Every structure is written in structure tokens, then in C-alpha cells.
Amino acid sequence: MNIALLGQGTRGDLYPLLGIGRSLVERGHRVVVLEYDEYASDIEEAGLDFHLVATGSQCAHVFENVPVGPATPSTELATHRLYFDASLRSARHFVAALTRLAQRPDAIVAPSHHLGAGLGGEMLGIPVISTFLGASVPATFDTGTGSGMRSRPDERMARLVDRLALPRIAEVRRDIGLDPAPDGATFARVDREGGLVLTASPLATLPPGIPPAFEIVGYPDYYGSDRHRLDEPTRRFLTESEVPVVVCTLGDGWARTLPDQLREFLDRADRGRYRVLMIGGRVPGLSSGAGTRIVARANLREVLAYADVSVNHGGMGTLIAALRCAVPSVMMTQWPDGRRNAAALAAQGLGIDLGSAPTADEFIRAVDEAIGSDMIEQRLTAASTAMRAERDPVDALLDRLHRERKGTFDHAETSTGRRGASR
């Protein structure tokens, strides 16, 4: 089959697709990845064909303006609007890129709420398989209600977002030659067709009534190109001392300024308390010191083998990499999905959730607690073992496509929709 993978403007959305793409190629399928040029090297280094959507960045404006601090209805709405604006701006680009492909795709695979994928699939008449990073969106969705939302707050938020989004979606539909009226799925509501929930068993905290259209599968095993292997000076930095090693991936998430908590933490590392490897680090004022080293990219699977703790923002990819390596996470969250992921992980004793605005002392105490906790270590070992039994997402993807192509796609048969049933 010819399968088109469409990114969503962040590495957190793209990397799971690259993992799926590599597995599909290994099984003899043809894969092309459509993305903005900022991710061309990531795609090519994964060994996959890159097809240019447009130049520039799809989500730079989101990173620079997403609200920080505790989650409130107003900050959640503001974040929805930022992501919607980015998705809307890019929709025409993705549709045009799909129509330019030399070989017509048999299917499109894209993150949920990808307007370009949905509109392109509708225009070309090909199926779109949505992927959901974690359980948060399917867990709020209920096919038994008219709105599709499980709770009144979710329903109110969906109505508000759609009130802002639907007129603008209609304009794009009209511009690309489709009927202006949506076909049932909107930006805020999740399509009843469901899709693949890419998660790990420790994070699959789903209610019993999740619709069977959503199939729970393992998270793709991909953490970066082998070209990003550690250089020898960095390896020596991680191994030449008995001081605890902290791998920190907060740098690119804080696009405007270095948080005081992180600044104090790095100061203490430079005084010999920790050895901190920062991955990313586009934050102004961030620089290497005696106990701090910064690398632009790294293979998390390799790096976390040296780590005593992972400091992160609760992103699904980093959390699962840490779980697979049985490394505890200390999470200082910024994004809505990170907040939900962090809460789920902390509830099972697999890490420490500090919320969005801990003090510097709270941050440092949490790192020390995570490093020295026997209970966290025991639970991480059990979680890492359980994850080896998770179902391969490519098996689930190919099963869904096979049923759809044969015209026998029945949501009731895709999975029971209950935790662990599809593994």
C-alpha cells in the first residue's frame, strides 16, 4: 500500500508517525511523510521519503504564545485557539501537497484534529486513520450522547471552540472546492470513526465506557536517528563521575525565558550536586557550565541509559522513553496534554508531578526524591515489563485498513475498548 503520514507541526506529533512509518517500510509498504521543511532532516534521517508541504514553521507561533501557569478554562481555550489557528493556516498547504503526490495514497495517517488530513482525505476519497497521543481525548468522547462529549464541561468547551472554528473551516472548504458544510466531524469534537490511541499501559487510564472505535495500542518505538548518537565528550561527561545524572528536556518547551526553577537547578549542577544533560535548549540565556552540557538533539533510548532521573514537561514521547528505561520522571508541565499525562503517571507512583509553577526548592526536592525512591524504582520495573506486551500499533493500523478496503469495517469489532484488551 501507499500510505501518507501527515505531521502536525511538533516533534511530539511527528516522531510517533516516524516510528509507524519505519515499521510499515520494513513490512514492504511505501510511505511518504508530508511536513514543513523545518522537519525535513528528522524525516530523512528516519529513512523515510519527505514531501514538502511548505517552508517555515507550522507551530512556532503556538510555542511562543501558549499560556503558562496553572490550567484554567481561559488558558485551555486560549491554547485551543492557538492550535486551531495553526491547523487552519496549514490546511490548504497539506491539501495541496496531497494532490501533488506522484502516487495516490491508499490511506492517510495523521494526528487527530488534523484539518489538512481530513479535508485532503475527503477531497481524494481515501480513508484517514487518526492517531491520538494518549487517552485524554478518547476518554472525553462518548458515542452515546448527541454532542459526543462525556461531560458538560467538555461539551461547553466543544461548543465554544466550534463556534469560533466552524465559519473559518467553511471558508477553507469552499476555497478548495468542497461543500462548505462540514460532514459531521468538527475541530472540537472527535470523529465517531475513532482511531488508534498511541499510549502505554501505565498511561492508559481510560474509563470503562470508552467507545470501541478507539483502539488502544502501544507507543511506537522511535526516539531519533542513529546520527544523533552521543559524541565521546558527552559520554565522558555522563560517566566520569558518581554524581547523579539528570537528563532534562524542558529547554525547547520554554521558548520565551528560562524558568527560575530551572536556572537555580542548573546553578546547583554547576556546583557539583548533579550532572545535567540538556537536550534542545533554545531558551535565551541557557549555556553549558561545569555540571551542565547542552546538545541540540539526542537519541533518548541511548541517553536515558545513563540517567538517574528525567526532567520533562509531561510529553508522551519522553514519558514513555523514560518508562521503557525504568527512569523516574520529574514533570514541570506547560501544555494541557502534559498536565494530564503527568497526573496519570504520578497517580501510579511512577514519577512526581510538580504542576506548572513549583518553587525552585520544590523542584530540587522532587529531583532528589525521584533519585532515591525505592518505591518508584520498583513500580518502574513493573511498568517497563508490562509495556513489552503492548500491541504493535502497525498491526492495528493494517488491520483497520484491511477491514476498510474490504468494506467490512465494523467499529464493534476493532477492540473492546477496554484497558489491555487490544494488546
pLDDT tens digit string along 69-100? 666 778 777 887 888 888 889 999 999 999 99
Q: Looking at residue 212, what is its pLDDT?
A: 81
- Rounded mean pLDDT, 47-55: 95
| Residue 55: pLDDT band with limits 50, 70, 90 | very high
What is the rounded (10 degree) CA torsion for 132, 134, 140, 142?
Answer: 60
Crossing angle between the packed helical segments 73-100 and 152-175, to the nearest 10 degrees: 30
Instruction: Tell me the C-alpha to C-alpha distance, in Å, between residue 177 and each of 83, 90, 173, 186.
Output: 24, 17, 6, 18
What pLDDT is stored for residue 407 in this prediction? 66
pLDDT band at 412 (very low <50, low <70, confident <90, very high): very low
With 90 as the cut, is the pLDDT of residue 244 above it? yes
Q: Is 386 exposed, middle or buried (0-12, 13-18, 19+ CB in 10 A)?
A: middle
- Tell me the average pLDDT of the chain: 84
Tell me how far the alpha carbon of residue 372 is from its chain's centroid. 29
Q: What is the arithmetic mean of pLDDT over 395-410? A: 79
- Res 415 pLDDT > 50: no
- 410 Cβ contact list (under 8 Å, min separation 6): 403
CA atoms within 13 A on the CB side of 136: 16
- Average pLDDT on 376-400 reads 92
Res 406: pLDDT = 73
Q: What is the pLDDT of residues 187-239, one digit of tens each?
A: 666 677 789 999 988 888 776 677 888 899 999 987 666 667 788 999 999 99
Q: Is the pLDDT of residue 281 over 70?
A: no
Is 80 exceeded by the pLDDT of residue 422?
Answer: no
- CB-based contacts of 163: which residues, under 8 Å, 6+ apart? none
What pLDDT does 69 receive? 63
* Residue 3 pLDDT greater than 80, yes or no: yes
The residue written with cell numbers 518553587 in the block is 359
For residue range 159-169, list pLDDT tens digits in order: 887 788 888 88
Residue 414 binned pLDDT confidence (cut-offs 50, 70, 90): very low
User: What does the pLDDT average to over 285-295?
Assistant: 79
pLDDT confidence tier of residue 185, bands split at 50, 70 and 90: low
Q: Does position 272 have pLDDT exceeding 70, yes or no? A: yes
| pLDDT at site 182 | 63
What does the alpha-carbon distance between residue 239 and residue 209 come to, in Å, rounded to a whole number? Answer: 48
Cα separation, 329 vs 247, in Å, equals 10
Q: pLDDT confidence of 322, banded at 50, 70, 90? A: very high
What is the model's pLDDT at position 416?
Answer: 33
What's residue 108's pLDDT? Answer: 97
Whether 66 shows a pLDDT value over 70: the answer reads yes
How high is the pLDDT of residue 421?
A: 32
Return d(Cα 122, Cα 201) in angstroms, integer: 33
What values do phi and psi take at 51, rounded to 5?
-120, 125
Percent of the chain with pLDDT over 90: 39
Under 8 Å CB-to-CB from 220, ≥6 apart: which residues? 15, 16, 17, 18, 19, 20, 23, 198, 393, 394
What is the residue type of 92? R
Please report the sign of the dihedral spanned by the C-alpha atoms of residue 367, residue 377, residue 326, residue 198: negative
Q: In what order do the strands lie in the sheet with 49-52?
A: 49-52, 30-35, 2-6, 107-111, 128-133, 195-198, 214-217
Report the predicted TM-score, pTM, of the whole model to 2 decimal places: 0.85
Is pLDDT larger for residue 269 or for residue 376? 376
Q: Does residue 119 surpass a pLDDT of 60?
A: yes
E strands, 36-190, where? Answer: 49-52, 107-111, 128-133
- Is the confidence at residue 360, as pLDDT, over 50? yes
Mean pLDDT calculated for residue range 155-179: 85
Q: Is the pLDDT of residue 68 over 90?
A: no
**Helical axes 316-324 vs 11-26, angle rounded to 10°:** 60
